[in-house]
Chain A
Amino acid sequence: MEALGYFMTPWLDLKLLFLVAAGTFAGVYVGAIPGLSVTMAVSILIGFTFTWDVYPALCLMVGIFMGGVYGGSRTAILLNIPGAPSAIATAMDGYPLAQKGLAGEAIGLSTVMSFVGGLIGIIVLAVAAPTVSDFALTFQPRDFMLLAVLGILLVGSLSGESLVKGIFAGAMGLLIGTVGMDPLTAEERFTFGYTQLWGGISFIAVMIGMFGVSEALAQLHHIEKAAVKQTISRIVPTWSAVRKYLPLSLQTSSIGVIIGALPGTGGDIAALMAYDHAKRVTKNPETPFGQGAREGLVAPETANNAAVGGAFIPMLTLGIPGDAVTAIMIGALYIHGLNPGPMLMIDQPQMFWFITGALALANIFMLIFGLTGIRIFTKIVEMPRTVLIPLILLLSIVGAYAVNNSITDVYWMLGFGVLGYFMKSYGFQLGPVILGVILSRLLDENWRRAIISEQGSLAGLFKGILTSPLSLVLFAMVVMIFVSQTPLWTAFRRKIGLEKIEHDHGAPGSGA
């Protein structure tokens, strides 16, 4: 009963209700405007909500997150430009529908289905998180250490073109996180004699630089691209259409929640897997997939919103983010003095139920804003990049400055922005960097705890890993990721019968 009270807090407090609504509204538009991403918006926003109480700040950020995941589908349908990575699969059938003049119907259906997916994700979060959290209490420091490594490696290997680049990015993030005085011994690390570096590098500066400035700079390449105008009529879908696709949406929601809950995998992968699932189970689609099949729209849209609830499970119970956006959310929780992890449910259960309540509320607002205001929407999305990019850059600077009122943070932010721009240009993913920065403390602490509890013996640590089933599974997964990227794995695949496919030496290799 107490939990219900906390759950209802954002629903009953007018100010919080308004903030969730405003956040969701902003999220829908941020997600929809190509060039603006949820990651960018949330990281800039942390700078601004830094001085707020934790509840209002969370309401705004949860709203932006939920709205943003949905908002990406809008431009995917209308312009064939996914507003967010999780909407890539949506464009495959959404855009053909818009070309046929059915943009309104496509938006309506994707909105309702996003709502269904979001709802299922939240229900699973509410049911599963307490159990996962109880289980997580039995984790040893070495398990947390392995989980952190696994999270970074998964994000590095799944999202980028090569694992080596992912590892570099993740390691760089971890290193940035260690700059400053060591929290245990107060020894200086990477300060190069500068007292300004004692407090470390503000991770908000890193985040805004990497996701705000570098993204804005990258967008300058496409400055000439004009926005496409679309006319949209009725968007509220008929009840029969919703009922028809409900069974499929329930299946793809489960895919979304599971994929979202795995560390390292988020809405983008969930949506692609759900799309693939829909293709396999739909025997006779009215329209073929890729040409405007409604199933191809419903599946990714339910899955990516269901993945939001899923992603909050490891984030709140283990303190391990699943992707860049959840990493930033964890950063925001840290900044507000919260410590996501198994103790959160014990020390501050109200926070967990509050976040769940805010998510559920944001899901409802997403439905409302999704089905209304389409006319303003088309106007805002048509905002020229020549105006948008200077504004993003301006907000990035203001956001970085606001946290500590420090111009040094602004310089850091700009430095990381330029570095991030080059890294992006040369095929590095920036997600692992942020994950590394966020997980650095957790990894450092747990590594040292694990090794101290074994009296400094590496052999003892390995013995511990090999004798605990959980540690062993996590360790095996870490090893598997490495092995799967080595020539050894290719050789093994050849041996077990895949050599015919790879035999053609003239063709490009399997790649990494």
Chain B
Amino acid sequence: MHDKIHRSAGELAFYAVLFIFSLVLLWSAYGISGFESLSSPGALPMAVALAMVISSGLILLDSCRNAERDSTRFFRDILPPVIIVMMLFITGYALLLVPLGFLPTSLLFLVVSILYLRRGGIVFALTVSAGALIAIYIVFRLIFTVLMPSGIVPEAEILAAFGRMFGGAQ
């Protein structure tokens, strides 16, 4: 099919992981109801897991056999430091969201990421983050009534106090 295709850094390893993962899923799908009947709960899972095994196998084989390694480097072109750092930031955000609460975690996340991506400018980062957070809070918390973990901020009390101040019932 292909005469010469290019393979980026880490591509082969990624395909191998997909293939192994598909095999595990096929095994797990077999465990649902085996070859009991074509209409069993495990029939479709087994069929799609098999499709995954075959397709990932073909992709792996094709890349192994035909592809020529190009000049990309994994930690420069595929997963550069900026992406690793941002991945760590969002993971940190997800971990802190419940214990710390939505407002402080979001503010921290925005300030730190903007500072990191722009490399400097604390006033800018703080102003933009606070502004964006207020806008997000008004739109999503108050208009869309999305419930977010309040954590260490006594959000409900503050909202109730505001409600009393303006005479409205909260």
| Bind each other | yes
Interface residues of A (CB under 8 A from B): 47-49, 51-52, 162, 164-165, 167-168, 171-172, 174-175, 178, 182, 184-185, 187-190, 192, 213, 217, 220-221, 223, 384-387, 389-391, 393-395, 397-398, 401-402, 405, 407, 410-411, 414, 417-418, 421-422, 425-426, 436, 440, 443-444, 447-448, 451-452, 456, 458, 487, 490, 508-512
Q: Secondary structure of the B side of the interface?
A: helix
B14 close to chain A: CB less than 8 A: yes
* A386 near B114: Cβ-Cβ < 8 Å: yes
Chain A to chain B contacts (Cβ below 8 Å), 22 pairs: A47-B146, A52-B144, A165-B55, A168-B59, A175-B48, A187-B33, A189-B29, A189-B32, A190-B45, A217-B83, A220-B82, A387-B132, A390-B113, A390-B117, A393-B90, A393-B93, A398-B136, A401-B97, A402-B147, A407-B98, A425-B8, A511-B1
Q: Categorize the interface residue count of chain B.
A: 35 or more
Contacts of A391 in B (CB 8 A): 110, 132, 136
Partner of A405, one of B3, B59, B147: B147
* B48 near A171: Cβ-Cβ < 8 Å: yes
* B147 near A174: Cβ-Cβ < 8 Å: no
Closest beta carbon of chain B to A397's beta carbon, Å: 6
B148 close to chain A: CB less than 8 A: yes
Closest beta carbon of chain A to B94's beta carbon, Å: 5
Q: How far is the CA of A71 from the CA of B83 in the complex (A)?
A: 28
Q: How far is the CA of A103 from the CA of B94 in the complex (A)?
A: 43
Interface residues of B (CB under 8 A from A): 1-4, 8, 11, 14-15, 18, 25, 28-29, 32-33, 37-39, 41-45, 48-49, 51-52, 55-56, 58-59, 62, 78, 80, 82-83, 86-87, 89-91, 93-94, 97-98, 102, 106, 109-110, 113-114, 117-118, 128, 132, 136, 140, 144-149
Partner of A167, one of B44, B55, B83, B87: B55
Q: Select from chain A the residue with minimum beta-carbon distance to B78.
A: A425
Q: How far is the CA of A190 from the CA of B52 in the complex (A)?
A: 15
* A51 near B52: Cβ-Cβ < 8 Å: no
Q: How far is the CA of A26 from the CA of B132 in the complex (A)?
A: 16
A178-B45, A178-B48, A190-B25 known; A397+B82 contact, CB < 8 A: no
Closest beta carbon of chain B to A245's beta carbon, Å: 39
A171-B48, A175-B48 known; A407+B59 contact, CB < 8 A: no
* A171 near B52: Cβ-Cβ < 8 Å: yes
**A213, A394, A458, A508: residue with the most chain B Cβ atoms closer than 10 Å:** A394
Q: Select from chain B the residue with minimum beta-carbon distance to A184.
A: B41
* B82 near A223: Cβ-Cβ < 8 Å: yes
Q: How far is the CA of A168 from the CA of B51 in the complex (A)?
A: 7
Q: Select from chain B the residue with minimum beta-carbon distance to A161.
A: B5
Q: How far is the CA of A168 from the CA of B48 in the complex (A)?
A: 9
Q: How far is the CA of A390 from the CA of B128 in the complex (A)?
A: 11
Q: Select from chain A the residue with minimum beta-carbon distance to B58.
A: A164
* A418 near B87: Cβ-Cβ < 8 Å: yes
Closest beta carbon of chain B to A335's beta carbon, Å: 15
- Known A389-B117, A510-B1; further 13 A-B contacts with Cβ < 8 A: A164-B58, A164-B62, A190-B29, A217-B86, A221-B83, A389-B113, A390-B110, A394-B106, A407-B94, A407-B97, A414-B91, A421-B83, A426-B14
Contacts of A189 in B (CB 8 A): 29, 32, 41-42, 45
A394-B106, A402-B147 known; A213+B90 contact, CB < 8 A: yes
* A397 near B14: Cβ-Cβ < 8 Å: no
Q: How far is the CA of A364 from the CA of B33 in the complex (A)?
A: 53
* B80 near A221: Cβ-Cβ < 8 Å: yes
* B45 near A394: Cβ-Cβ < 8 Å: no
Q: How far is the CA of A167 from the CA of B57 in the complex (A)?
A: 12
Partner of A447, one of B33, B44, B49, B86: B44
Contacts of A389 in B (CB 8 A): 86, 113, 117
* B114 near A390: Cβ-Cβ < 8 Å: yes
Closest beta carbon of chain A to B15's beta carbon, Å: 8
A49-B144, A171-B52 known; A386+B44 contact, CB < 8 A: no
* B43 near A448: Cβ-Cβ < 8 Å: yes
* A394 near B109: Cβ-Cβ < 8 Å: yes
Q: How far is the CA of A52 from the CA of B146 in the complex (A)?
A: 10
Q: How far is the CA of A201 from the CA of B1 in the complex (A)?
A: 36
A168-B52, A426-B8 known; A509+B45 contact, CB < 8 A: no
Q: How far is the CA of A405 from the CA of B28 in the complex (A)?
A: 29
Q: Select from chain A the residue with minimum beta-carbon distance to B37.
A: A456
Q: How far is the CA of A188 from the CA of B82 in the complex (A)?
A: 40
Closest beta carbon of chain B to A399's beta carbon, Å: 8
Q: How far is the CA of A49 from the CA of B87 in the complex (A)?
A: 27
Q: How far is the CA of A421 from the CA of B106 in the complex (A)?
A: 23
**A167, A389, A407: residue with the most chain B Cβ atoms closer than 10 Å:** A167
Closest beta carbon of chain A to B39's beta carbon, Å: 4
A190-B25, A402-B147, A456-B37 known; A164+B43 contact, CB < 8 A: no
Q: How far is the CA of A437 from the CA of B148 in the complex (A)?
A: 27
Q: Select from chain B the residue with minimum beta-carbon distance to A418.
A: B87
A171-B55, A395-B136 known; A386+B42 contact, CB < 8 A: no
* A187 near B90: Cβ-Cβ < 8 Å: no
* B128 near A387: Cβ-Cβ < 8 Å: yes
Q: Select from chain B the residue with minimum beta-carbon distance to A450.
A: B39
Closest beta carbon of chain B to A222's beta carbon, Å: 11
**B89, B102, B117, B136: residue with the most chain A Cβ atoms closer than 10 Å:** B117
* B146 near A48: Cβ-Cβ < 8 Å: yes
Q: Select from chain A the residue with minimum beta-carbon distance to B12.
A: A426
Partner of B45, one of A175, A184, A458: A175
Q: Select from chain B the residue with minimum beta-carbon distance to A145.
A: B44
